[in-house]
Amino acid sequence: MPFITRAAVSLASAFFFFASNAWADCECGYTVNGTLYTDLVESDFLHIKDINQAGWMPQEYTVDPDMARGPFGKDANPKQIVMNPLKSQYDWAGDGINGGDAGAQVIVRGGSPAKGGLIPMGEMDTNRTDMLYGSFRAGIKLTGLPGTCGAFFWYRNDSQEIDMEFLSQQFNASSHPVNLVLQSEASIAAGFNADNTDTFQIHQLPFNPSGGFHEYRFDWFPDRVEFYADGVLLDTMTGDGVPSSPGHMTLSQWSNGDPNWSAGPPTEDAIMTVNYAKGYFNSSDTQRQKDFTKRCKDINAPKATCEVPEITQPPNNNASAKTFFFTQQQNMTNNQTIPSGNPNTIQSGAWSIQAPIQGLLTTLLLFSLVLFMDLWS
């Protein structure tokens, strides 16, 4: 075999030996306050143009007034989810391509309801429905128009639901509440009114939710749910109302005219804007569990787990809007289910495309040995 050919083959063998044995960062998962989660969903709505390629699905359904428990019903339609990304994928601040706040717009249409008494509304759910315990967060700016309920929540069914809900009619100069809810068997027994259970709390926020973007978050454990705003713990709920089955994340805004809840409808289109949503969770899916076992070679190895950074200031339309995404880093999402809709996403392979310096030196050393052996053969 000619010298050059032998050298090339030997170099390729050495490189692929190293590559196949290189470990990616975060292969054993992501930690939040010391709790490990195996899977993630991250959506950078500041740069996503097509919601259907972002791991989310706009919902389409109708609910008549009786079932909606209000004077009006609901008409969820994909047209009420409007993507308004920044003009450049390299920017993190500024107006969206349609003007106004950049992000995913979740809209309730204003004015008198159309025939049938249904109010057009927007809702989008994650494609992943196997989320079983985790930390979920979103950067949201609520509408300032009275007459809607904006919601960020996790959902399994009507008796297993974790809600952070914002009633725009409650916002004024001195009142900025968020309604924290665990929908449970008890709330169903109370006529779908969690207000009459011990898993309903109202917390006044130190800011106006319609005045800018803020991060809303809940961490779900087998025995409790913790609620946060801008990284500050608001409340912890325990008891039988804590869900125990897998589900999905949802972002929605709706109105049914109920004067005791959403009120409305708003007099004009009401927009809730979301600049990101993130979930770090364990999967109930058998294949995803097998994938974790296969990729997590040593949970105690350096960088085998990665801590989820906490925000230190509200993610408003300025420099602080650039929050951390594992999906936008090299080599931190090996074997994760990463949608392709975000132009800043880096698709990690089975091994790092940025090999550690030690690995490069090892490969070069092996190549040098090959050259030396070939020269003397």
Of 37, 44, 124, nearest to 336 by C-alpha is 37
pLDDT for the residue numbered 12: 47
User: What is the distance between the alpha carbons of residues 58 and 20, in angstroms, rounded to a whole number?
Assistant: 39
pLDDT at 114: 72
Which tokens sit at 179? Answer: 């309604």
Q: What is the reported pTM?
A: 0.86
User: Which amino acid is it at 74?
Assistant: K
Question: In residues, how long is the chain?
Answer: 377
pLDDT by position in tens, the chain (length 377):
554 445 444 444 444 444 444 458 999 999 999 999 999 999 999 999 999 889 999 999 999 999 898 999 999 999 999 999 999 999 998 899 999 999 999 999 999 887 679 999 999 999 999 999 999 999 999 999 999 999 999 999 988 999 999 999 999 999 999 999 998 887 777 777 777 788 999 999 999 999 999 999 999 999 999 999 999 999 999 999 999 999 999 999 999 999 999 999 999 999 999 999 999 999 999 999 999 999 999 999 999 999 999 998 899 867 788 999 999 999 999 999 888 677 888 765 433 333 333 444 444 555 555 455 555 55
Report which DSSP code applies to 11: H
d(CA 304, CA 309): 16
What is residue 341's predicted lDDT score, i.e. its pLDDT?
75
Segments of the chain assigned E as strands: 29-32, 35-37, 39-44, 56-58, 61-63, 73-76, 81-84, 103-108, 118-126, 131-141, 149-157, 160-167, 177-183, 200-204, 214-220, 224-229, 232-238, 248-254, 270-283, 305-307
